[in-house]
Amino acid sequence: MHSGYLDDLGTVLGQYDVLAAFWVNIQLTVYAGIIALVLGTLLALMRISPVPSLRWAGSTYVTLLRNTPLTIIIVFFVLGMWGQLGFTLGPDFPTNFFRLSVLGLAVYHAAFVCEAIRSGVNTVPRGQAEAARAIGLGFWPTARLVILPQAFRGAVAPLGNVLIALIKNSTVAAAGSVAEASGLMREMIENSSSVILGIFLVFALGFVVIVVPVGLATTALSRRWAVAR
C-alpha cells in the first residue's frame, strides 16, 4: 500500500470509533457467555439426569437450537419478542436491542455449552460416580460434588471453542440493530469504498487480537487441568 492509501485509510479510521464498536462485541460476548454457561450447565445436568422427561427436554432444546440459524434467533428476539409481544429489557431502544441480542446469543450458545460439558462428563472415570452412589449420594449431590467439577476441567478445550465461536457470532447482533464491529465495518465500506481492503484488514486484525489469546489460554488450561485417568 502506498503512502496516499495509508493516509486515506487513517483519515477514514479517524472518523469512526472502531475501538468502541469492538468493545460492544466484547460486552456481548461476556454477558451472553455467562448466561450461556449457566443455562448450558443446567441443560447438561438434564441430559445426564436419570429422569426421562428431563433428558427428553434437554435433548429437544439442544437439537432445536443447534439446528436453527443464529440470525433467525436474533431477529426473533428483537422483532418477535419486542415488536410483536412488547417484551422489553431496557429503557431505550439501544439498550433494549443490546440486551435482547445478548439473550438470543445466550440461548443459542447454551446448546453448545451443554454438549461441551457433556464431553467433559465423558472424561470423568465411571468408578467415581459409582463410588459416590455406593456411599449413599443421590444423582444431584453426585453431579454437584463429583462429576461437574471434573467435567469442567475436561471440557476446557471445547468450552474455549464455544467461546471463540461466540466472539465471532457476536457480529450477528447487527441483525438486531446493535452497533457492533461488523455493522460499523459495513458502514465504513459503504461510505469509503476506495479503502475497502484496508478497512477489512483492520477489522479482521481486531478479531484476531481478541480470539487468538482466548485460544491460547484455553489450550494451556486444558493441558494443565486435564483429568487424570
Q: pLDDT tens string for the chain (229 positions)? A: 567 778 888 888 888 888 998 999 999 999 999 999 999 999 999 998 888 999 999 999 999 999 999 999 998 888 887 777 777 777 777 788 888 999 999 999 999 999 999 988 887 877 777 777 777 777 788 888 888 888 888 888 899 999 999 999 998 888 777 877 888 888 888 888 788 888 899 999 999 999 999 989 988 887 877 655 4
From residue 164, alpha-carbon distances to 168, 191, 222 in Å are 6, 30, 15
Question: What is the rounded CA–CA span in Å between residue 88 and residue 82?
Answer: 6
Q: Which residues contact 44 (CB under 8 A, 6 or more apart)?
A: 58, 113, 114, 117, 118, 121, 151
> Given the C-alpha cell 488450561, which residue does it identify?
221
pLDDT at 2 (0 to 100): 64
How far apart, in whole angstroms, are the C-alpha atoms of residue 80 and residue 97?
A: 12
How many of the other CB atoms lie within 10 Å of CB of 114?
A: 27
Handedness of CA 179, 167, 199, 11 (dihedral sign): positive
Say which residue the cell 495509508 belongs to.
Answer: 6
CB 114 within 8 A of CB 47: yes
Q: Which amino acid is at 96?
A: N
Domains of the chain: 3-224 (1.10.3720.10)
User: What's the rounded Cα separation, in Å, for the pair 213 and 229?
Assistant: 29
| Contact (Cβ atoms closer than 8 angstroms) between residue 144 and residue 152 | no
Give pLDDT, residue 208.
Answer: 93
As a residue count, the chain comes to 229
All 3 cell numbers of residue 197? Answer: 481492503
